[in-house]
Amino acid sequence: MTQHVRLGVVGFGWMGQAHARALTRVRHHYPDLPVVPELAMVADNAPDSRLELAKDSYGFAATTADWRELVTSDAVDVVSVTGPNFIHAEVAVAAAQAGKHLWVEKPAGRGLAETRAIAEAAARAGVHSAVGFNYRNAPAVEHARELVRAGRIGEVTHARFQMLGDYAAHPQGAHTWRFTRALSGSGVIGDLGSHGADLAEYLVGPIVRVMAQDCTFITQRPASVGAASHFSRGAGGPLETVENEDYVSMLVAFESGARGVLEASRASVGEQNAYGFVIHGRTGAIAWDFRRMGELRVCLDQDYQAAMWSTRLVGPGLAEFGVFQPDAGIAMSYDDLKVIEAKRLLESIVSGVPTGATLADAVRAATVAEAAMESITSEGWVKL
Ligand SMILES: NC(=O)c1ccc[n+]([C@@H]2O[C@H](COP(=O)([O-])OP(=O)(O)OC[C@H]3O[C@@H](n4cnc5c(N)ncnc54)[C@H](O)[C@@H]3O)[C@@H](O)[C@H]2O)c1
């Protein structure tokens, strides 16, 4: 039987709009999904025209400036929690208590305690969840996981995960909520490090020990004006103090015995969305770079030394690629990863079986982040 699932979005910026587009497109790519998605309501309090955009361009049935109206509305079944980090927990817990399924952007909470509170509220209410760990949805990443699990690189010895960006590299970059502990929680540890931790655990397995260092390269920024995004510049206003880190590097140890390095930065000049990994095993290696999403670099079935790499172009036979493009070498997009995320959430709702990244994964990533921060303070290894 086909079920109607009505989406409410709290926070209609970059991610809120990406969720809405994904839900709109999900049946284009997965016509057999027994769900009719509907765009029900958007809540956003920005003093600009984004509520009109939601109605006029996206086709949402209703809008409001008050997220409380949305999470308690009888016209909403799933709530996308896509506002700034400081409203995630309040919105998500209220939505779960009202019986709504949750599609929460990362980092789910401003730290481990809030992330656990969201996960517990969802569990108590018996609602399903998806979390925006979109990079694990890339077909090349899923293929890498299959190859690692099939032993094609042998026992994993060590791995490197890198999440480098330049969105905060400009000294005039506006001092938005992202740079304040009370509003954001950690800096890049939660923002990009959470994606890295999720990829690391998805591909190599549980992390059991962490030692980290951090740095804030730009310690003051001009105040933001209006509804500033990641990328806004300050308007020459007074300087405000940056309270959280621009950079983190962590040594990590996996339960399997493998060793690793996770590095994340929001202020790396020359790097834009430079997200990826290299995983080494006893008989091979595998590497991926988000900026070349459809390529997987593999070093399989080689001799121990002078081993050679080749590049696989991900094609229709691998993971979800075939529902987006008919042949290898045709690029998938970031938004496609969100379509896969939407599909997995809807599948969870219909089947009752959690599919894809859920709040349990958000709790894992937040546990790694918390351990990293504890390690920065104690200047030593921290066990998870
Ligand atoms: N998964 C990913 O790859 C990814 C990428 C970017 C951002 N994110 C996460 O998504 C979240 C949103 O980030 P973004 O880049 O879309 O931010 P954004 O600034 O573009 O959008 C946030 C929106 O929330 C609205 N908002 C703020 N306070 C509100 C309130 N009280 N009620 C209703 N609306 C409110 C703002 O007006 C804005 O429209 C963050 O948690 C971020 O970490 C995830």
User: For atom 40 of ligand 1, which residue has the closest CA?
Assistant: 84
The finding on whether 85 has its CB within 6 A of some atom of ligand 1 is yes
Chain segment 173-192, per-residue pLDDT in tens: 999 999 999 999 999 999 99
Q: Can the peptide bond before residue 107 be classed as cis, meaning omega within 30 degrees of 0?
A: yes
The finding on whether 183 has its CB within 6 A of some atom of ligand 1 is no
Domains by residue range for the chain, with CATH: 3-134 (3.40.50.720), 135-340+357-383 (3.30.360.10)
The finding on whether 20 has its CB within 6 A of some atom of ligand 1 is no
Beta-carbon contacts of residue 133 (< 8 Å; ≥ 6 apart): 106, 194, 195, 198, 199, 202, 357, 361, 362, 365
Q: How far apart are CA 28 and CA 280, in angstroms?
A: 38
Residue from 63, 82, 335, 337 to probe ligand 1 pocket by mutation (most atoms less than 8 Å from CB):
82
The finding on whether 232 has its CB within 6 A of some atom of ligand 1 is no
The finding on whether 134 has its CB within 6 A of some atom of ligand 1 is yes
The finding on whether 14 has its CB within 6 A of some atom of ligand 1 is yes
Atom of ligand 1 nearest to the CA of 66: 32
Q: Which residue has the tokens 């969870």?
A: 348
Residue type, 301: D
The finding on whether 177 has its CB within 6 A of some atom of ligand 1 is no
Chain segment 338-382, per-residue pLDDT in tens: 999 999 999 999 999 999 999 999 999 999 999 999 999 999 999
Atom of ligand 1 nearest to the CA of 190: 43
Chain segment 141-156, per-residue pLDDT in tens: 999 999 999 999 999 9
The finding on whether 45 has its CB within 6 A of some atom of ligand 1 is yes
Q: Is the separation of the CB atoms in 92 and 349 below 8 Å?
A: no
CA angle 375/378/381 to nearest 5° reads: 45
The finding on whether 44 has its CB within 6 A of some atom of ligand 1 is yes
Chain segment 290-301, per-residue pLDDT in tens: 999 999 999 998
Q: Is the pLDDT of residue 306 over 60?
A: yes
Tokens of 296: 């997987």
Residue from 9, 19, 44, 86 to probe ligand 1 pocket by mutation (most atoms less than 8 Å from CB):
44
pLDDT at 302: 83
Q: How far apart are CA 97 and CA 100, in angstroms?
A: 7
What is residue 335's three-state secondary structure? helix
pTM: 0.96
CA 200 to chain centroid, in Å, comes to 13
